[in-house]
Amino acid sequence: MAEYVGIDLGTTLSGLAYLKPDGNPEIVPNADGERLTPSVVFFESHEDVKLVGSAARDGGEPDRTIFQIKRYMDDPEHLVEIDGKKWTPAEISALILSKLKRECSKICGDITEVVITVPANFNELARKSTIAAAEMAGMKVKRLVNEPTAAAVYYAHSQGVKGRILVYDLGGGTLDTTILDVEGDNIRILTSEGARHLGGSNFDDILLEAYAEQYKKQTGATLYSDERHRRRVLHATEDAKKMLSKLQRVNDTVANDQNSGIARIDLTRDGFEKLIRHMLTRTVFLVEQALDSAKLKPADIDHVVLVGGSTRIPKVKTMLEKMFGKTPKSCGNVDECVALGAALFAKKSARIQEVCNASYGTLAMVYNAKTKEEKLMNSIVIPKNTPIPCSRTQVYQTSEDNERVIEVDITQGEDEDAKFVDVIGRITLDVPANRPKGCEVAVTFSYDENQRVRALVVDKQSGRSKEVAVTYKGAGVLSDEELKRRSHHLRAMRIE
Amino acid sequence: MFKILKNFSKSLGGGKSAEAKPAAAKAGSLLDKVNKGAPVSAKAEPPKSPEELCGITPKMAKDEIKMQLKLLFRRYNRSASSLDAKLRGEADQMLDAIVQLREKHFGEI
């Protein structure tokens, strides 16, 4: 049995690694001989089989091929309909994980428990969906770990470095930045920040637009009119993007499927970098945000580490070099280090001090004595980036006479403005009648090593209390029964 | 500062809810009610400039602009992964405006 297994369930590529007896992690190839499996699923119409990986990506009908499902893990309304059946993002992800489990276990032994990596800014629903996907695929999730944290664990292990490290992880779909302190085997995370929908596939889309514009200019026609052809051109733009990381100039030719002629596309690295500049500026904002969160300046960082396929873009390196005054280092194979780090994390988690991924609090009317104004605000009890395990209490007062029920909305988010946070639960506590306003209510949040959050509400006068696990149970989350049913169904499927 | 935990469902006419009930949708309506004073325009408003969207005025010093853009980036980057689809849509537009203003006031990367 493989005891320590890590999985990087990526937007474009997924990988599984295990820890060898010598303590070093290794990527386990799939049955197609690939170290990384494209995160693509094809629903075959003639045979009862789901193809996952390269075969799914390179052939098949676009209407039955699912790309980048990870981008929708946080969307409760996103469903994929195939042959009348609606699939949730968790179920599609479960198919990818099933392939990894079934095929990799033939090499490294049975896989029952895993560490799975997630983007730092994955919300509650996306994290729950990831766990559900693994369970449907027949694996128990030992821990979820942020992708840049996993990469940093691998970097620290393989390079033997110490000091303060900033990880810049620009993958297919998301950007994550983590700052951490490394001292021997001990790792202390200082902050993790993430940005949604900011990665290589956004750059591909931008290039696709440029191709379509050029085609229109040269031939007067539309480059693609259906999804199948759009996919083909997108594939070409992805290749061109990769070439531009090595060459200054790339020439390409494209045609539509209506015989409207061929257009010559002349791309320069400089031109491409201009096209994606606004996206890269967003990444600079996020790096600055991470530095601000950790109360650090660029000069306080000892190592800048690059992770994720999109960090091969030369501009990324020069931009960070300019910002930090030192050359960023690559984390070995930038596509594999997250999975490798996850396998290491499975064993070393006790020596890694993590932080809260989000702030937790409640909605409260806050009275400002200076302005005499009262305003609905998100009152944070545990701030993001507090080292875990931790527990914090905030005391509030009831605002009306004879309140019989105290209701505490549980919020997730850093903003003081209540409009900009998610309310992920509510605690209701019955209290005695005939009390004046101003009764004290203590709200305590606890965050354990497994990223589990609990909320405790105590009415101080009556001593009545209620404690709940803080967990998002809203739209998009499967019930335990439904999860069991779908797991059973999925295990009987042919997945290749 | 003095914090008061208000019984919102009572004051806003909501019923008693189950313990730790999923409240995302409910809370949305609560906030809607809290914000109901905001005027709703019948006519489509002209598109706002990045400065208007981000509250940047000509009199602001560079440091103030920088602080404001950082604050807004933090807010809307978080909103981009909100459970509220409307907020997610708004976030994209705001992030574009924030980047435009950064490039305008502090140069390109």
Residue among A134, A169, A154, A476 at smallest CA distance from A339: A154
Find the mean pLDDT for residues A158-178. 92
Picking from A196, A284, A419, the nearest residue to B81 by CB comes out as: A196
Residue A270 CB coordination number (10 Å): 12
> What is the per-residue DSSP string for B36-70?
TTS---SSPPPPPPHHHHHT--TT--HHHHHHHHH
Residue A205 CB coordination number (10 Å): 12
Question: Hey, are the CB atoms on A420 and B25 less than 8 Å from each other?
Answer: no
Per-residue DSSP letter, A495: B
- Is-contact A377 A416, C-beta < 8 A? yes
Of B31 and A48, the structure prediction assigns the larger pLDDT to A48
Confirm or reject contact between B2 and chain A (CB < 8 A): yes
Q: pTM to 2 decimals? A: 0.87
**CA A304 to CA A321: how far, in whole Å?**
9
Burial label for A496, CB within 10 Å (0-12, 13-18, 19+), is middle
- Could you tell me the pLDDT band of residue A421, with boundaries at 50, 70 and 90? very high
B4 HSE (CA, 13 A, CB side): 18
Average pLDDT value for chain A: 92
In this predicted complex, what is the ipTM?
0.86
**Which two three-digit tokens encode residue A218?**
């040269």
Question: Hey, are the CB atoms on A441 and B5 less than 8 Å from each other?
Answer: yes
Q: Which residues on neighbouring strands pair with residue A262, listed in sequence order?
A: A255
Candidates A365, A461, A472: best to mutate against B (most CBs of B within 10 A) is A365
Residue among B3, B64, B73 at smallest CA distance from A414: B73
Phi-psi region of A447 (alpha: psi -120 to 50; beta: other; left: phi over 0): beta
State the pLDDT at residue B6.
Answer: 59
Stated length of chain B: 109
- Is-contact A218 A263, C-beta < 8 A? yes
Q: Which residues on neighbouring strands pair with residue B82, listed in sequence order?
A: none
Confirm or reject contact between B94 and chain A (CB < 8 A): no
Distance in angstroms between the alpha carbons of the first and the last residue of chain A: 22
Residues 21-50 of chain B with CB under 8 A from chain A are: 21-28, 30-31, 34-35
Picking from A123, A319, A427, the nearest residue to B19 by CB comes out as: A427
The pLDDT of residue A300 is above 70: yes
Distance (Å) of CA A484 to CA A133, A386, A428: 11, 35, 29
Question: Hey, are the CB atoms on A420 and B10 less than 8 Å from each other?
Answer: no
Per residue in A169-183, pLDDT tens? 999 989 999 999 999
Contact residues, chain B, for A409 at CB < 8 Å? 8, 23, 27, 30
Contact residues, chain A, for B23 at CB < 8 Å? 409-410, 423-426, 474
Pick out chain B residues at pLDDT < 50: 1, 8-41
State the pLDDT at residue B84.
Answer: 85
Residue among B88, B93, B82, B72 at smallest CA distance from A413: B82
Candidates B6, B30, B36, B102: best to mutate against A (most CBs of A within 10 A) is B6
Contact residues, chain B, for A374 at CB < 8 Å? 4
B64 vs chain A: nearest CA distance in angstroms?
A: 16
Per residue in A21-33, pLDDT tens? 999 999 999 999 9
Contact residues, chain A, for B83 at CB < 8 Å? 74, 76, 123-125, 422, 424, 472, 474
Tokens 């909320």 sit at which residue? A455
Strands A40-43, A50-52: pairing kind: antiparallel
Helix axes A200-219, A277-293, angle to 10 degrees: 160
Contact residues, chain B, for A366 at CB < 8 Å? 1-4
